[in-house]
Amino acid sequence: MKVLILHSEIDPCAAADEQDVLVQAEAVTRALRSLGHEAQTLPFSLDLAGLADRLKRSACDLVFNLVETAGGQGRLIHLAPSLLDFLGIPYTGAGTEATFLSSNKLAAKRFLRARRLRTPDWVSLTESTVRDPFPAGSRFIVKSVWEHASVGLEERSVVAPRSLAALREEIRGRLADLGGAAYAERYVEGREFNLSVLAGIRGPEVLPPAEIDFVGYGDERLRIVGYRAKWDEKAFEYHHTPRRFDFGQQDRALLRSLKRTALRCWDLFGLRGYARVDYRVDAGGSAWILEINSNPCLSPDSGFTAATLRAGLPFEEVVSRIIGDTLGTA
């Protein structure tokens, strides 16, 4: 089978989080060739007419969609599946609607809340699910609506304003660093979990749950997985936030609940191929959904890949399952 790997167009001077898609493309290329497929790569361009012509001329049987941004903007991520739908070319991962819904974090939170799934309260420049004035000690974390990979997320992202107006000023002050669209989410103090889901013959399979272990974090340091934890190899956070997969008897009920919710998110959002659901669990044991990652990172050091390795799955099998879910053969 001839597979075209479509990925974000990356500037040579781009930051590490953007360059990572090239690492993913290389890993997927190797896996596809190992599986006996013909594989080549193509960067996604905002010259949609020209790109459409190149896609048609490639005569590919399938596109492996690794597009994370278009024109350097996360808000345009849905253009890739939209164009492929228009051209009638099958592609891996989430469809256009699921990609848009999961990538717009505010839309995803509204969708979750409407279906009675727990997600932290939020405030944007135009809406709020929080009563004003805030209770004393309320903390919020200011995030990008569209950008992923913890872009713009750091300790100073956690704020403690006393009013809705003050919080909205905090949001306005961070717009430039957060892709032009931002919101604030009630900060949940507690544990952080990632649950990866992979398509299989019997349907979606939840891979071994992972918890972020905040090693050496004193009371003075906030337990968040920010940009430095993911991308700055010289940072304290990068070396002190490993994943752990081993849990005691006391966590069994919690993990069962997280797995059930992850599968429900898969169904409700109409996900396909692979996905990851991120949670915070508060001191009372309540789990709060932070984000739905419809096409999570597939680089060798990613959280999703770590979960597949923990499950004993070679990367070639992971790629084969993702393709199979598109073609109906997973």
- Please report, in tens digits, the pLDDT of each residue of the chain (330 residues total): 999 999 999 988 888 888 999 999 999 999 999 999 999 999 999 999 999 999 999 999 999 999 999 998 999 999 999 999 999 999 999 999 999 999 999 999 999 999 999 999 999 999 999 999 998 889 999 999 998 878 889 999 999 999 999 999 999 999 999 999 999 999 999 999 999 999 999 999 999 999 999 999 988 899 999 989 999 999 999 999 999 999 999 999 999 999 999 999 999 999 999 999 999 999 999 999 999 999 999 999 999 999 999 999 999 999 999 999 999 876
Tokens of 148: 């992923």
Distance, C-alpha 65 to centroid of its chain = 14
The SS3 call for residue 103 is helix
CA-derived radius of gyration, the chain: 20
pLDDT at 108: 98
- Stated pTM of the model: 0.96
pLDDT at 217: 94
Residue 52's contacts (CB-CB under 8 Å, 6 or more residues apart) are 83, 86, 87
Task: Say how far apart CA 173 and CA 146 lie, in whole Å.
Answer: 17
Task: Say how far apart CA 276 and CA 310 lie, in whole Å.
Answer: 15
pLDDT at 197: 98
Cross-sheet strand order for the sheet of 38-44: 38-44, 2-8, 62-66
pLDDT at 136: 86
- Residue 55 in contact with residue 67, Cβ under 8 Å? no
Q: Is the peptide bond before 133 cis (omega within 30 degrees of 0)?
A: yes
pLDDT at 148: 83
Instruction: Classify strands 191-198 and 2-8 as parallel, antiparallel or unpaired.
Output: unpaired
pLDDT at 330: 65
Question: Which position has the token pair 């991120």?
Answer: 278
pLDDT at 151: 84
